[in-house]
Homo-oligomer: A and B are copies of this chain.
Amino acid sequence: MIKIRIYSIGKNKEPWLTEALTLYTTRLRGKVQIEFHLFRKDEELNRAIEKEKGIIGLDPKGKMQTSREFSCFLLSTIETHHSSLAFVIGGPEGLTEVVKERANHLISFSPMTFTHQMVRLILLEQIYRGFEIDKGSGYHK
């Protein structure tokens, strides 16, 4: 079983977000276990990721990729880090220096700024899409 943990700052207060995230975690179930870890403060997040090894930070200065490139990147990074990955989404001020230094990779989805709720959803959908691309299903046209 592949394990992916998604760390972020903020609350999970929107019911629509919970519903949308559940949709994709359910679709991934059986193959990938997704865990969301939410923190109020940067320091708490920094402490929580101390034992993580394969860390991917989402940062405005990170590398942008197409969904196909992200799929290859995702699958190969999962292999490198023995089926265990951690994605970190920063708070309003972005990723802390601690996370940036510890991250194995920095990626970006867009030059635009999205809400952290939306970033979680986009990330999860791209993870799902990444596996579907790898599978060669009709999901990604």
Contact = CB atoms under 8 A, between A and B. Distances in A.
Interface residues of A, number: 29
B16 A113 contact: no
A118 B113 contact: no
Contact of A65 (B17, B20, B111): B111
Nearest to A128: B115
A115 B111 contact: no
Nearest to A129: B113
- Count of chain copies: 2
A125 B70 CA distance: 24
A126 interface: yes
Given A92-B141, A141-B92, A141-B93, A112 B65 contact: yes
Contact of A20 (B14, B93, B110, B125): B14
A111 B141 contact: no
Interface in A96-141: 109-115, 118, 121-122, 125-126, 129, 140-141
Given A20-B17, A23-B16, A114 B118 contact: no
Interface of A: 14-17, 19-20, 23, 64-67, 70, 92-93, 109-115, 118, 121-122, 125-126, 129, 140-141
